[in-house]
A and B are shown apart, each in its own frame.
Chain A
Amino acid sequence: MCGIVGLFLKDQALRPNLGAMVSPMLIGMGDRGRDSAGLAVYRDPAPPGSIKMTLRRVDGDEDWENLKVELAAGLGISVSGTEFDDHLLLRAATDAETVRDWLKNNRPEVRVVGAGQKIEIFKKAGRPEDIVARYGLDGLDGSHAVGHTRMATESAVTTQHSHPFSTGLDLCLVHNGSLSNHNRLRRWLMRHDIEFETDNDTEVAAGYITYRMRQGATLEEALEAALVDLDGFYTFAVGTADGFAVLRDPVACKPAVMAETDGWVAMASEFRSIAHLPGANDAHIWEPVPATVYTWGHA
């Protein structure tokens, strides 16, 4: 069980403040989930032909400098990266698959947390205020962000089990609720080439979206299919390169509040996390209707 937040800036002038606006949203959901927290931020696009990947080690410290040097040499490409505590934000002049293959062969303990042109994902076990401080999230700029605070229900409290789960390039998923048929679905997805790191139900939802989109579905179509194939209680927020999507299951017991002004669109499990945003008190506030896909994006 958990808290989820999403913020999409319609007004470009607000972009330098994305981190400052979304960090209190994340911290506000700390009571709903004290086990771990994570934020996906969309910002600073990589140029065509390049990729951004957020990396972290499963355990222990990684010598990121060394990794960058070896990767550059091994692939014969230019590589740069910024360290954010135990995460490395890598930029490489190649595609994600190539980097993943290199990592599998040369650094199997390093995990790809997120990959794409714009996405950066930071997540860790711990309280949201600690995660904000650790990764300097409140200082980041960007166009939109999706975040999560976790109260672990049936799987372990580890960073790997934290949300957002990255489902594909520039795609991520956060979830409040509890799925009920994810175990068999996981086994089916594994037979269809989706890889899982955990026994977490949300990872299955993320893997399912990835599978559908690999089969050619748009995000909306994948979420419509999820309504049929996933069982249980959920509010999902999905981050994409250009915006985000929200979906509630047909029974809709888990909360979801949306708010919109001329400057931004926000989503949270409780209004409390929206209350501090500029103009929140006069915003158009509503609740997403069950079994309906909502999307917002840049034109």
Chain B
Amino acid sequence: MRDVVANIDLSETSVRDLNARLHAVAPDTNDKSFSVLNPNGAHAIAAGLTEALHVGIEGHVGYYCAGMNQEAVVEIHGNAGTGVAENIMSGEVRVHGNASQSAGASGHGGLVVIGGDASARCGISMKGVDIVVGGSVGHMSAFMAQAGYLVVRGDAGHDLGDSIYEAVLYIAGKVESLGSDCVEKDMTDAHKATLTHLLRRAGMDADANGFRRFGSARTLYNFKIDNAGQY
């Protein structure tokens, strides 16, 4: 539990003023905890943070909350709109409710935790972020996923990992269908250890034994005549 330093009420303050204030926090200050009230679905809340702040948001946010996050810990006590933590570089973004589509899109690092369900395109184009979803993910999740881990305790929708590169997917529930070049792979003790660590970081109590691993078959890495149907 942190001492909350500042309450910022978005029914009285603009998102611009909120973000300007968060961007202006000096690296050497101790006053780094914020609580954002009445988000009411506003967009780009806490986007572009660069310092190790703690930002708690009380309610539902719109698109691109914590977009391009660096270092900060952002917690959304509600649901998130499209593109939560898009292009996250480091730090953590936790959504206690559900996330809309493209959660963690093109994320490069850090951790994104969705307590409930994520929608379509969870982890699309991910480039190193780790995403842990307590519920299910929608169709086209991990589309063109290049690096990082996607962990899903629930089910995955159609076309999981379509055109996937080197990201690794751990799914506990059922997978509606697999995308181009995405295949099930074996689960060794090493994989289970990695998965256990991810679940622990996410604060989730789950048994790695219940998961399956998916990744790239790597048949699309160089253009070949006989794979034309996959394109």
- Note whether A and B contact each other (Cβ less than 8 A): yes
Q: Which A residues are closer than 8 A to B by beta carbons?
A: 252, 255, 257, 270-276, 281, 285-287, 289-290
Q: For A287, list chain B residues within 8 Å (CB).
A: 98, 100-101, 119, 138
Residue of B nearest to A274 (CB): B41
20 cross-chain CB contacts under 8 A: A255-B81, A255-B82, A255-B100, A257-B100, A270-B41, A270-B62, A271-B41, A272-B42, A272-B62, A275-B40, A275-B59, A275-B60, A281-B59, A285-B97, A285-B98, A286-B98, A287-B100, A287-B101, A287-B138, A290-B120
B79 at the binding interface (Cβ < 8 Å): yes
CB distance from A268 to the nearest CB of B (A): 9
Q: Is the CB of B62 within 8 A of A252?
A: no
Query: B139 interface residue, CB < 8 Å from A?
Result: yes
Measuring CB to CB, which residues of chain B are less than 8 angstroms from any residue of chain A? 40-43, 59-60, 62-63, 78-79, 81-82, 97-98, 100-101, 119-120, 138-139, 157
When distances are taken between beta carbons in the complex, the residues of chain A under 8 Å from B79 are 271, 285
Kindly list chain B residues whose C-beta atoms are within 8 Å of the C-beta of A274.
Answer: 41
- The complex places the Cα of A252 from the Cα of B139 at a distance, in Å, of 9
**Nearest chain A CB to B152 CB, angstrom units:** 16
| Docked pose: A272 CA to B82 CA in angstroms | 12
A-B contacts counted at CB < 8 A amount to 47
Q: Which residues of B contact A285 (CB under 8 A)?
A: 60, 79, 97-98
Within the complex, the shortest CB–CB distance from A273 to chain B, in Å, comes to 8
| 6 new A-B contacts at CB < 8 Å, known A272-B40, A287-B101 | A255-B101, A271-B60, A271-B81, A272-B41, A275-B59, A287-B98
Contacts of A272 in B (CB 8 A): 40-43, 62
The interface residues of chain A lying within 8 Å CB-to-CB of B119 are: 287
CA distance A252 to B143 in the complex (A): 14
Query: Which residue of the partner chain B has the closest CB to A273?
Result: B41
Set of chain B residues within 8 Å of A257, measured between Cβ atoms: 81, 100
Which residues on A sit within 8 Å (CB–CB) of B62? 270-272
Nearest chain B CB to A175 CB, angstrom units: 19
Instruction: Report the minimum CB–CB distance from B5 to chain A (whole Å).
Output: 24
Residues from chain A with a CB closer than 8 A to the CB of B59 are 275, 281
The residue of chain A having its C-beta at the shortest distance from the C-beta of B82 within the complex is: A255
Asked if residues A289 and B138 are in contact (CB atoms below 8 Å), the reply is yes
Chain A residues closer than 8 Å to B43, beta-carbon distance: 272
Nearest-CB distance from B66 to chain A (Å)? 16
- A281 contacts B98, C-beta separation under 8 Å: no
Q: In the complex, A276 Cα to B39 Cα: how many Å? A: 11
Using Cβ atoms and an 8 Å threshold, which residues of chain B touch A290?
120, 139
| Bound CA–CA A113/B16 (angstroms) | 40
Which partner residue on chain B sits nearest A31 by CB separation?
B43
Alpha-carbon distance between A162 and B13 when the two chains are bound, in angstroms: 34
Chain A nearest Cβ from B134, distance in angstroms: 15
